Amino acid sequence: MSDTYILLRIDPFIWRDESLNIPEKILLNFVFSFTVENRCCDVDTTWIADRFGWNPQFVNEMINMMALRGWLYVERKSDGTRLMSINIPGRTNPCLAPTVEFEEINP
């Protein structure tokens, strides 16, 4: 377990949901802290496990379960890391790369 601290934004809707256990609420609020700022959470599973005193396999299973239950958007990158955000109905997933139009410049 790491000695460093984490500032965690607690969303009352998530915290009061009786279908979630405490580790799920902590994980979802951690990801929510990024999503509410329109940022994508790209923190490594091992980092999360280390900071919260959990086993990396437990974190992995919890992330997968939260995605299956529709709480999280999860996108796997080619290097094995994941991009995560909370599924907020009516709100754009901040992990989606914006479409950038470009103009060809002819010298």
What does the pLDDT look like over 34-53, one tens digit per residue? 888 888 998 888 989 999 99
- With contact defined as beta carbons under 8 Å apart, do 4 and 45 qualify? no
- With contact defined as beta carbons under 8 Å apart, do 93 and 85 qualify? yes
For the chain, what are the domain ranges?
A: 12-86
What does the pLDDT look like over 81-100, one tens digit per residue? 789 999 988 888 888 865 44
Give 68-74's long-range contacts (Cβ < 8 A, gap of 24+): 71/24, 71/28, 72/28, 72/31
CATH 2.30.42.10 fits 12-86, yes or no: no
